[in-house]
Amino acid sequence: AIRAGDEASFAELVARHERGMIRLALAYVGDLAAAEEVVQETWLAVVKGLKGFKQRSSFKTWLFSILMNQARKRAARRFKESSEGSWHAEDEDPTSELFDVAGEWRSKPPAWGSTPESELLAKEAIEQIHNAIASLPDKQRIVITLRDLESWTSEEVCDLMKITKTNQRVLL
């Protein structure tokens, strides 16, 4: 239907995948505005390349492959433009106040409730989790984003990333 120019089908496809696409692009580029631009560039590439889609993989895998390529290009450009590198070993470990040297919690985190204070703390915790995911190496960040945030199956992730199930478990 989309190849035939059905705009309603295309709009449905965008609505179905856009949130996940933004989340994955964000894992590469680090800020929402850039992630949204990557998603727009991806949809343009999809429209241009739709006639050439050979259906050797699922449409979802093809779509997210294009997204990953667009996001990698953007991330590489941003890294070249930036004079800052990534976190260095000599920098203070941001998790040192939460975990001991064995990787155990220093103190059990409080349960999340529904008071305004706890909701604010929950938002801050979610931000910290997203920051921690963003600090991971690319492949680990992508596997976690797809598996844990987007609920992709193991097979879908392996197919998209061209890795074995064993490699995926190691990355997780």
More confident residue, 75 or 43: 43
Residues 6+ apart with CB under 8 A from 132: 94, 95
pLDDT digits (tens, 9 = 90+) for 21-57: 998 888 888 888 999 999 999 999 998 888 888 888 8
pLDDT at 103 over 80: no
pTM greater than the 0.75 cutoff: no
- Lookup: tokens for 28: 């590469």
For the chain, helix, strand, coil in percent to 5 are 65, 0, 35
Average confidence score pLDDT of the chain: 81
pLDDT of residue 89: 45
